[in-house]
Structure 1
Amino acid sequence: MNTHDRWTRLMDLLGDRGRIEVAEASRLLGVSPATVRRDLEELARQQLLTRTHGGAVRAGVSYDLPLRYKATRRAAEKERIAKAAAALVAPGSVVGLTGGTTTSEVARALATRADLTAAAEGGPALTVVTNAINIAGELAVRTHITTVMTGGVARPASYELTGPLAAAVLETVSLDYAVLGVNGLDLRIGASTVEVGEASINRAMAVRANTVVIVADSSKLGRRTFATVSSLAEIDVLVTDADAPPEMVEALTAMGIEVHCV
């Protein structure tokens, strides 16, 4: 296990448990306690956690892993979800993409979809509106995609632009699809994220779209986080993985949501 993989696993454990002990981390990662201590010291230097005697705790009350540490979590599932979501988009559409690891994969899937790239000679085959700096950077070089970026204040954890400037741009556009990455999808409160500003922009994008698509791996299903994005009545499609709880899939389908388990 290389350094980046160890750091990602440590952050993953910390996100799930709230705290981690050196001895336990050493056992779970299969490395020496000295290696774990060095890793924790470096992550603490980056202000991603707080060191304690014998371990570490989360750095703050509201906890969201930086995007670079979330990218390798359930990577295979996210890639399948992204390809399935990208396949739903018709050529010539205007697509809104929020930030996140799964939506970043959707952007890559759209960028490499054969029928869209083949249309490049005749002009842009797709317009993407995004508030994610990393997604805009990847798509800007694609001649078959017109990339529109909102303004706003950058969130270091997700590379998303939020705030009044981002909201103002979204109020002026119409979208065929809004593809939203979320932290939780619950049968009572709907889709949610951990951060209020992020949720506000996601919600603004959803309001401007004809079709709202949620992309979320099965670990997000049945989970509630702090800030609501959309109620279930406002969601048209959910794309998730094959480990989605059957009872939840059945309940969502009964509510009229089109569910794809891939």
Structure 2
Amino acid sequence: MPHPQDAPRATSRKRSDRMLAVLAMLESGDSVTLKDLTGALGVSPATIRRDLADLEEQRLLVRTHGGARAFASTSRAEVPVRLRDSQFRAAKQRIARRAAELIPTGPYSVAISGGTTTAEVAKVLATRPDLAIVTNALTTAMEIASRPNLKVIMTGGVVRSNSFEAVGVIAENTFNAINVGTAILGTDGISAAGGATTHDETEARTNNAMVSHAQRVVVVADGSKVGRVTLAKMADLSQVHVLVTDTTADPDELARIVAAGVEVLIVDV
């Protein structure tokens, strides 16, 4: 298996931050000019053109003469995991540490879905003895597979290029064949109305299989995900026991989630 450092990721954190900033400028649906982008981001036109070419290849925007415009609903598009790795990083690390505290000591089994926040949880758990970790996320498996103190179980399945997650019937069959103490679930949105949701319906079915065979479900989501509803439901709120988020989350939405019976843990950012 490749070393964790070989996992697919953005060329650099600085570049991924810049590309996320480009997408943010397109959230209103308007076009932006090359002059606007170079002025706002403080880089050369050649650098911006390379970024725009990459983002267009991923169908996240459309290049125009002298700039770019949003591709369909870019503001609600699924940002590839290699860019998400640097987004809200400090909050995700604190959320991960708090979520890891919920895992009891001693022999225990944990399922971990794909996502950048769940990957941070896996990093925290990597030093724990006697853990069995089941995951369908290639990046997470590569991060922890070299740890002799862990038993790492990787599902099969079809790998999604945006998230590096194995999904589909093979992955679902793996989750259906086992039982775990806790499932750590990443999400693109969590709300009282929509439950825990994601952008891809096949990924949602796979994660629902994981959730259905866990004694406890912990959702980890930075504040930007709270109150957001995306395409496909992974879990009803009735299936979620704990939400770990941060202080940027909408307090009114958190109150509605608590009223639905979910324990909410909030970390400072």
Q: TM-score, normalised by structure 2?
A: 0.85
How far 1:50 moved relative to its partner? 2.5
Instruction: Tell me what 1:127 maps to.
Output: 132
Moved more, 186-195 or 244-253: 244-253
Structure 1 residue corresponding to 2:68, chosen from 56, 74, 77: 56
Structure 2 residue corresponding to 1:253, chosen from 251, 258, 263: 258
Structure 1 residues 152 and 103: CA distance shift in structure 2, 3 A: same
Task: Confirm whether residue 208 of structure 1 aligns to residue 213 of structure 2.
Answer: yes
Q: Is the 8 A contact 1:19 1:55 kept in 2?
A: no
Instruction: Return the alpha-carbon distance in structure 1 between the equivalents of residues 245 and 38 of structure 2.
Output: 32
Instruction: Tell me what 2:176 maps to.
Output: 171
Instruction: Return the alpha-carbon distance in structure 2 between the equivalents of residues 82 and 102 of structure 1.
Output: 7
Q: Is the 8 A contact 2:60 2:77 kept in 1?
A: no
Letter of the 2:77 counterpart:
Y
Task: Confirm whether residue 102 of structure 1 aligns to residue 113 of structure 2.
Answer: no
Question: What is the root-mean-square deviation in Å for CA atoms of aligned residues?
Answer: 2.1
Letter of the 2:79 counterpart:
L
How far 1:84 moved relative to its partner? 0.5
How far 1:171 moved relative to its partner? 0.9
**Percent sequence identity over matched residues?**
41
- Which runs of structure 2 are paired with 1:1-262 in the superposition (5 Å)? 2-14=14-26, 16-18=27-29, 20-22=31-33, 23-45=35-57, 48-59=60-71, 63-91=77-105, 92-112=107-127, 116=128, 119=129, 125-262=130-267
Q: Is the 8 A contact 2:61 2:71 kept in 1?
A: yes
Instruction: Return the alpha-carbon distance in structure 2 between the equivalents of residues 244 and 47 of structure 1.
Output: 29
Q: Is the 8 A contact 2:17 2:87 kept in 1?
A: no
Moved more, 62-71 or 204-213: 62-71
Instruction: Return the alpha-carbon distance in structure 2 between the equivalents of residues 154 and 19 of structure 1.
Output: 33
How far 1:191 moved relative to its partner? 0.8
Structure 1 residues 204 and 13: CA distance shift in structure 2, 3 A: farther
Q: Is the 8 A contact 2:191 2:253 kept in 1?
A: no
| Structure 2: gaps of 5 or more residues | 1-12
Cα deviations by residue, 1:195-249 (Å, 9 ceiling, x for unpaired): 1111111111000001011100110111110001111111100000012222222
Instruction: Tell me what 2:6 maps to.
Output: none
Letter of the 2:38 counterpart:
S
How far 1:65 moved relative to its partner? 1.5
How far 1:179 moved relative to its partner? 0.7
Cα deviations by residue, 1:141-181 (Å, 9 ceiling, x for unpaired): 11111001110000011110001100111110001111111
Q: Is the 8 A contact 2:144 2:152 kept in 1?
A: yes
Q: Is the 8 A contact 1:8 1:72 kept in 2?
A: no
Q: Is the 8 A contact 1:213 1:237 kept in 2?
A: yes
Structure 1 residues 6 and 203: CA distance shift in structure 2, 3 A: same
2:147 aligned counterpart, secondary structure = coil
Cα deviations by residue, 1:64-107 (Å, 9 ceiling, x for unpaired): 11111111111000000011111101122211100011011111
Instruction: Return the alpha-carbon distance in structure 2 between the equivalents of residues 206 and 191 of structure 1.
Output: 11
Q: TM-score, normalised by structure 1?
A: 0.88
| Number of residue pairs the alignment of both structures matches | 251
Instruction: Return the alpha-carbon distance in structure 2 between the equivalents of residues 38 and 216 of structure 1.
Output: 31
Instruction: Return the alpha-carbon distance in structure 1 between the equivalents of residues 194 and 56 of structure 2.
Output: 34
Letter of the 1:127 counterpart:
A
